[in-house]
Every structure is written in structure tokens, then in C-alpha cells.
Amino acid sequence: MWQLLKIELYKIFRRPRTFIAFAVIAAIIFLIQVALKFGGEEYVGMMMSGLNSTFDAPADQVMNGYFVCFIILNLLLIHVPILVALVAGDMISGEANMGTLRLLVSKPVSRTQLLLVKFTAAGIYTILLLLWVALLSLFLSMLIFGTNELFVARGEEVNIISAADILWRYIAAFAFATVGLITVAALSFMLSAFADNSIGPIVATVCVIIVFTILTQMQIPFYDNTIKPYLFTTHMLGWKGFFYVQGEEGVTIERSIENLPAIIRSGLILLAYAVLFLFTAIWYFKRKNILS
Amino acid sequence: MSSIIQVKHLSKEFRDIKAVNDLSFEVPAGQVYGFLGQNGAGKSTTIRMLLTLITPTAGSIEIFGMELRHHRKEILRQTGAMIEKPDLYKYLTALENLRIFALMSGMKVTEKQLMDQLAMVGLAERAKSKVRTFSQGMKQRLGIAVALVHDPRLIILDEPTNGLDPQGIADIRKLIWHLSRDLGKTLMVSSHLLGEMELIADNMLIIDKGKKIVEGKKEALLNPDTVQVEIMTDDKDKAIAVIRETNWKDCLAASANGTVLLEMQKEDIPQLNRTLAERGINIFSLRPKHTLEDFFLSLTKN
Amino acid sequence: MKQGIRIWGLILFFLIPAGMQAQTAEELVLKVKEKFDKVNDYEAKGKMKMNVTFIKAPVATVKVYYKKPDKMKIHNESGISLVPKGSINISIANIIANAAECDIIDAGKEEKTQLRVIKLLPRNEAADIVLSTLYIDEQQLLIKKTKTTTKENGTYELEMTYGKYAEYGLADKVVFSFNTKDYKLPKGVTFDYDDGTKKGDPKDKLKNKKGRVEISYSSYSINKGVADIVFQ
């Protein structure tokens, strides 16, 4: 099993395509960091416009590494699924397209095992991608912008979290984002099992995510109460929950999370989807006639 | 002689198309088994069923005396295959491709073993080149190396000479001989080119439209006691009527475009000629079809 | 003579209680100011706690700098110093310093606390402050409470508790209450995610629009000099 996994990882990381995602992420993060370094205080000013009538909020203190990371994650995590799909959506259909699938499947490895190994490899790729995001968005930002308390602007509330109380939240948030992206990987992987060309599953995944994200962000009560709770994209935003704190008389309670059950529920829903997608992929692929 | 592959009443239907129809055959050990048929005859579907890529609709497959469905891994571990085009990971080198498929077959291989394998197919010098840069012939040879890398007992090659130049074809032929004669492997080689099969195969199976047409030793097929005779006359119907009155009435195989086809003993041909001439039938030509090519074409016509 | 004595007696009778009752409002304000004038500058350490409906922030470790006549700065040592707007200008020092430009009105005593109530009305019509009300402990000459109404930012209240530094008129604890405006960020700017739980009626939230900032000072370092640069 480990040997097979090594082979799959080897195949992933010997492809130039794999590194597109890493390069794209580096480029986006770099651009955001440059923009915030030179024009960040205006950006913060805009974000704190609701506060400025009542408070003097020092933009230079708000603009710190933790905050920059938070902005980057907000801008980036919506788009990382596309990069995940680029690899996960190619795992099976890419082999079919290349003509190597028939060789793989005629090897003494069960199809279930082959798929589990391939999915694990896609999962590892996803995790590495997120570690890369974390390295650049969090640790590099901490180096460039320093650290301070984290200012979280919410729709009707501002949360300020003390510097010592942040790092674990990021670790938790990245772990949650991993679950979300693994779900995307599973979706993409499932579509990949259905198809015999690479483009189809990748495009299909991206389309699903775009449509679901639009539905998630649309504030239409009809959808809010009917389909929205079932869209996995809604739950993928759950990582933000780790930055919503509880307060007592306006004072942030250290190590608190406003609504942990909701985050856990979102996480479980995502996992359920991931498992569903993976099992569907295996169920289908086991019966599939390899004609490619 | 024991059989390496035993196929019984194998069928595969895709929706309403019968790709393989009640096919039975046996591949003897240590021989080159030619699997012949026109494009679309069902060769690839059959081979894919042997390699568990396609699930049969009906029938059974035994390889090495084991039921394929229940001993898939054990069987595939000892089987090497090249299926249709030799598609490999283009972004990897020849050596890397070879290593991957050796490992996938559950085999731990040393760098030297891999290099020996590449040397056998004449690719040692290009071991570190990306497959992307390979010519069709080189890919074909690497594909064969991949099929052989884990030292399988059974080697299935689907159209191994497809797209090769004459030199390439000759090289593959030599390799197949080497594997069979020197290494004692059992090979099942499919082709739509009879000429190739004539040169390499010991035994042969010819299929058309998913059905077996004939199976047997090459020599028997090439020099049969019974030959097909194609007679061209000025009056086909009369000729048939005459033949119906003779002892050869059961030999009538087919008739078309003024020709009559008979399957009969070779030594009876002069007698037939005389009989027809005596009955006033003008014979334009009387041609025994004894080459496999003719045989194959006659069988698979229509 | 007798009559003269009676008149004087009468005058005294009226005057003495007045004198006993205490100084005039102006005098009182002046005395408080004198006491405060002993402080040229200070640097104080303390903890700042905020209680605003729409803000959750950690307790901040702050340094408060003051320099005569009206420079003041709250600096958050541990994080983001979110300081209510105008709170600097509403400091006692500021109010006292501006007292000279105000009409001082004596409003008697607050019954419950026996604190002297004095209203300051700025003579300058353009000033942001419309009215300041001071609640003064006459014995200790300490301002215990102020209420300031401004044109722009509503009403502010300061409540002081004194201890070790009472002789300088510096409080150990200051509670600053102020009006907050609605806070709502447009979608797209916020980092919101709907966790599916039903939020309370937003109207209830907005009703309570008083904010409170509480600074508890642990120490003052008085008249040791404070560089101007800290106020920038």
C-alpha cells in the first residue's frame, strides 16, 4: 500500500502541472502582500469604516501578519478548490486519457485499493498545497508585517483576539480548510472516475463550486432555508468560525470559540460528503469497463 | 500439453452489440498463440477480459489453472501485457516508467535489472530520456519492456507491430521468438495482419464479429488436407446443381459473384474439374486457396 | 449702635451659613484646577477593558501619557488600541483646562451623593462641547463624575474612583461611557460566514447603544517628563 502510494505521489510530483498550483498560490499571496505592504492602511480604513465614527482605530496596528493572513485566506480559499481539482480531477481520467489506466488496472492491485491510494495521494497533494498556503500566508506575513492582535471585522461585530491566542486558531482553521478541500478533491476524484478525459472533471468541479458558491453567497431566503444548508461550499467557510470568539461584557474570552458545535457540524457534513463522493467513485469504478 | 489460458463460452455485450460471442479457446504453455481477426472483430475486448479490464457478460476464464475472477491478483502478478498502443507516462523517463510498473506488479527490482530489460529491447541508451521524446517504435519496445519487467509467465501483446516500420516489425518478431524459444514464455499475440502471424505463431485463433472461426496449429491451417476451392464458371447455378448430384454435395461452402466455394480433399480437385467439364460447364478458373491469407479472407468475408 | 450691631448680626447671620456652605462654583472649579495643576505630566500604567455591544476585545495593557495642558494618549502595549473617539478630549484635564472659557453655573448638590453639581457652558458657540456637568467631592476636591454633551458624538460620562493618587486628582479607575453608533459592514468587506444558527433580532442589539471603557490604573509616574513624541 505504501509502495503504491509512493508511486502515485511520484507521478503527481514529477508532473509540471502539479507545480502550477504552488506557483499560482505563491504569486497570489505575494501580490496581496505587496499590495497590503504599500496600501494596506487604506484597505484597513475601508474595512473599519463602520467603526471610525465611534473609534480611533489605528490602521498600522491592525495591519499585521495575522491580519494579512486572514485577508489572504478570505481571498484565496475560495479559489484553491480549482487548484485542487486540477490534480484530483486528473487522477483517474488523466490516466485514462494518457492510456496508462489499462496498464494500471491490469496490474495485481485491486481497483478499490488503486482508488484509495490515488485518493490518498490527491489528499496529500491537497495538504501540501495548504501547508504551502500556510507557510506563505501566515509565516511569511508574520515575518513581513510582524504580529499583533487580530482584528476580525464581521457583519455586525468586531472581534479582537490577543496575539497569544491566535496561532492555534490558524492551525485549527487550516485543519478545517483541509477537510473542506479534501471534500473538493473527493468530488473532483469522483468525476474523474466517471470520465475518460482530464478536462471534463476539472471543469465540472469548477462549475459545481462556482454555482454552489454563488448560491452560498446569495442572500435569498428561499435558498437560505432550503438548499444552502446542504451545499458543501457553505460549510467550507467554517474555518472562519475559529476566529469568532465569545465575549463576556465585551471582553474576549481567551481560547473561546463562538460556535464550536456549528464548526464541528460543518466539518462532519464535509467529511460525509467526502466519504460519499469517494465511495461513489469506488463503487462506480469497480464496475467500470476500461475501454480507454 | 497443459493450457495456460482456458476460455469457455466467453461473451461480452455492450448494450445491444455482441462484441464477443460465445468464444472458447485454449492457449498452450510455452507457445506463441496468434490471435487473429480484423479490426473490430473482438480481439481487444477478449484481451481486456483476460486482463480484468472488462467484465464478461458470460463465460469463464481460467489462467494458470485458476479462475480469473477469484484469483485475479495471483494471475495478474504472472502476466505481462501491452494493450493496443504502448501508452506510458510521457513526462517520465523510460527507466522511471519501467520501475513504476515493476513495483505495481509487486516486484522489487534493482536498477541493473531494469537496465537489462531496457537493453533487451534496445533502449539502454535512452533509459534516462523522457518518453515524450520517443519515436513510435521506441515506445512500442518500451511498452514490451513494461510487459516483461516483472518476468511474467504469460505475455499478452495486443497488436505489437502496429505503426512500426519494417525494421521495427522485424525487431519485435525476433524478440517474440527470443521470449518463446529461449525463455520459454507463453505469448498471446493479437494482430489483424496474417502475414505477421504466419511468421511467429505456433497456434492460431481466428475470430470474426466476436465469434471463433477457426482454431488450430498453424501448419494444419496453412497446409490442410481439406482445401477451399474457388471455381469460376459461366453458369454458377448449374455448377451448383451439378455438384449437388455428386459426392461433394456436402462440401459446398458458399457462392457469390459467379464463383462457387467448396471445401474438399485436395486430391479430389482434378476429378471435380472433369465432372464439371463433362456436364458442359465452362470453367474459367479453379483455384485452390491454400494460403492462410486467402483462407482468412474467405472466412472473414461478409 | 445697637441697631448697627443688629444689622451686622443679620448680615453675619446670612453670610456665615453661606460661607460655611462653601465656596462659589467658580472657586471650587479653581481649586480643583489648582490641585490638578500640580501635575505637569504623567505616564500611567493600567488595564483597559471595553464593553461595547458589537466589539469583543481582550483586556488591554495600556500606558496613558498626559502632558499639560491637554495632551493625552492611550497606548496599547499588548495590541490594537481601539480608543473611543473624543475620549481624549473629554478627559478631566481637558474639561478643567477649558473651564476658563465657560460660564460656570452652580446647580447645587446631588441629593443622594452630596456631590456638588456644577455645569460648564462653553462661551464659544462653535465648540463641540455643548455642556459639561461636573460632580465634585468638595472635601477632597475631586471630580467624581462628569457628563459631557457634544454636538457630534452625543453624551459622554466619566466616573472616577480615587485612591493612592488622590492628592494629584488622579483616579485609580476611570469608567468612560459613550454613545456608539450602529455598526454594520457591507457584505463583501466582511469576513462573515453563516454558521446556520439563528441570530437574535438585530433590533434588540441596536437598542443598547451605550459603550463603556474602563481603565484601571496600577501606577502613575508623575512629573517625570514625557517626550512630545509619544503624542504623535
CB atoms within 10 A of CB A201: 27
Nearest CA in chain C to A157: C54
Q: Residues of C with CB below 8 A from A52's CB? A: 85
ipTM of the complex: 0.88
Q: Which domains does chain B have, with CATH numbers?
A: 3-218 (3.40.50.300), 226-300 (3.30.70)
Q: Does A20 touch chain B (CB under 8 A)?
A: no
Q: Residues of A with CB below 8 A from B150's CB? A: none
The domain segmentation of chain A, as residue ranges, is: 2-287
**Which chains have 3+ CB pairs within 8 A of C?**
A
Query: Which residue from B60, B68, B64, B45 is spatially nearest to B8, judged by alpha carbons?
Result: B60
Q: Report the pLDDT value the prediction gives residue C18, as an integer from 0 to 100.
A: 44
- Inter-axis angle of helices B269-278 and B236-245, to 10 degrees? 110
Q: Which residues of chain C have pLDDT under 50?
A: 1, 12-20, 198, 200-207
Q: Residues of A with CB below 8 A from B51's CB? A: 102, 105-106
B106: nearest CB among A11, A108, A110: A108
| Length of chain A (residues) | 292
Q: Report the pLDDT value the prediction gives residue C153, as an integer from 0 to 100.
A: 74
Q: Does C77 touch chain A (CB under 8 A)?
A: no
Q: How far is A235 from chain C (nearest CA, A)?
A: 8
Q: Residues of C with CB below 8 A from A158's CB? A: 54-57, 183
The size of the A-B interface in CB pairs under 8 A is: 80
- Report the distance separating Cα A274 and Cα A282, nearest Å: 12
Q: Report the pLDDT value the prediction gives residue B268, as an integer from 0 to 100.
A: 83
User: Residue C212 has which C-alpha cell?
Assistant: 463603556
Q: How far separated are the first and last CA of chain B, in Å rounded? A: 35
Q: Does C49 touch chain A (CB under 8 A)?
A: yes
Chains C and B touch (3+ CB pairs under 8 A): no
Q: Which residues of chain A have pLDDT under 50?
A: none
Q: Does C197 touch chain A (CB under 8 A)?
A: yes
State the residue for C-alpha cell 485491486.
Answer: A110
Q: Does C232 touch chain A (CB under 8 A)?
A: no
Q: Report the pLDDT value the prediction gives residue B152, as an integer from 0 to 100.
A: 94
3-state secondary structure B222-264: HCCCEEEEEEEECCHHHHHHHHHHCHHHHHEEEEECCEEEEEE
Contact (CB, 8 A) for A151 and A67: yes
Which residues are within 8 A (CB) of B19 and not within 5 positions of it... i.e. 6 or more apart? B12, B13, B42, B45, B210
Global confidence as pTM: 0.84
Q: Does C184 touch chain A (CB under 8 A)?
A: yes
Q: Report the pLDDT value the prediction gives residue C103, as an integer from 0 to 100.
A: 87
Q: Report the pLDDT value the prediction gives residue B188, as an integer from 0 to 100.
A: 96
**Which chains have 3+ CB pairs within 8 A of A?**
B, C
A108: nearest CB among B48, B77, B89: B77
Q: Residues of A with CB below 8 A from B79's CB? A: 106
Q: How far is A105 from chain B (nearest CA, A)?
A: 7
- Report the distance separating Cα A77 and Cα A149, nearest Å: 22
Q: Report the pLDDT value the prediction gives residue C190, as an integer from 0 to 100.
A: 57
Q: Does A255 touch chain C (CB under 8 A)?
A: no
B87: nearest CB among A11, A15, A99: A99
What are the distances in angstroms from CA B117 to CA B3, B81, B88, B113? Answer: 27, 15, 16, 6
**Which chains have 3+ CB pairs within 8 A of B?**
A
State the residue for C-alpha cell 468560525.
Answer: A241
Q: Does B106 touch chain A (CB under 8 A)?
A: yes
Contact (CB, 8 A) for B226 and B241: no
Query: Which residue from B4, B26, B37, B5 is spatially nearest to B211, judged by alpha carbons?
Result: B37
B53: nearest CB among A10, A102, A109: A102
User: Residue C8 has which C-alpha cell?
Assistant: 451686622
Q: Report the pLDDT value the prediction gives residue B48, as an integer from 0 to 100.
A: 95
Q: How far is A25 from chain B (nearest CA, A)?
A: 23
Contact (CB, 8 A) for B225 and B266: yes
Q: How far is A216 from chain B (nearest CA, A)?
A: 39
A104: nearest CB among B91, B96, B104: B104
What are the distances in angstroms from CA C131 to CA C127, C136, C151, C155? Answer: 10, 16, 10, 9
Q: Report the pLDDT value the prediction gives residue B294, as an integer from 0 to 100.
A: 63
Query: Could you say which residues from 45 to 64 on chain A have a Cβ atom under 8 Å away from some Cβ of chain C?
Result: 46-47, 49-58, 61-62
Q: Which domains does chain C have, with CATH numbers?
A: 22-184+203-224 (2.50.20.10)
A149: nearest CB among C50, C80, C84: C80
Which residues are within 8 A (CB) of C169 and not within 5 positions of it... i.e. 6 or more apart? C32, C35, C36, C38, C39, C92, C141, C142, C143
- Report the distance separating Cα B92 and Cα A53, nearest Å: 62
Contact call for B105 and A107, based on CB within 8 A: yes
Average pLDDT, chain A: 91
Nearest CA in chain B to A290: B53
Query: Which residue from B61, B104, B59, B60 is spatially nearest to B80, judged by alpha carbons?
Result: B104
Nearest CA in chain A to C51: A250
- Report the distance separating Cα C91 and Cα C72, nearest Å: 8
What is the full per-residue pLDDT of chain B (302 aa) written as tens digits? 589 999 999 999 998 899 999 999 999 999 999 999 888 889 999 999 999 999 999 999 999 999 999 999 999 999 999 998 889 999 999 999 999 999 999 888 899 999 999 998 889 999 999 999 999 889 999 999 999 999 999 999 998 988 788 888 898 899 999 999 999 999 999 988 877 888 889 999 989 889 998 888 877 776 666 677 888 888 888 888 888 888 888 777 777 777 888 878 777 888 888 888 888 888 888 877 655 566 666 666 64
Q: Residues of A with CB below 8 A from B75's CB? A: 108
Query: Could you say which residues from 118 to 137 on chain A have a Cβ atom under 8 Å away from some Cβ of chain C?
Result: none
Contact (CB, 8 A) for C106 and A83: no
CB atoms within 10 A of CB C215: 21
Q: Residues of A with CB below 8 A from C191's CB? A: 70, 74, 152-154, 240, 243
Which residues are within 8 A (CB) of C138 and not within 5 positions of it... i.e. 6 or more apart? C22, C28, C115, C116
Q: Report the pLDDT value the prediction gives residue C24, as an integer from 0 to 100.
A: 83
Q: Does residue C75 sit in helix, strand or coil?
A: strand
A46: nearest CB among C189, C191, C196: C189
Residue type at A108 in one-letter notation: P
Q: Report the pLDDT value the prediction gives residue C204, as an integer from 0 to 100.
A: 47
Q: Residues of A with CB below 8 A from B77's CB? A: 108
Contact (CB, 8 A) for C68 and C39: yes
Q: Report the pLDDT value the prediction gives residue C74, as an integer from 0 to 100.
A: 85
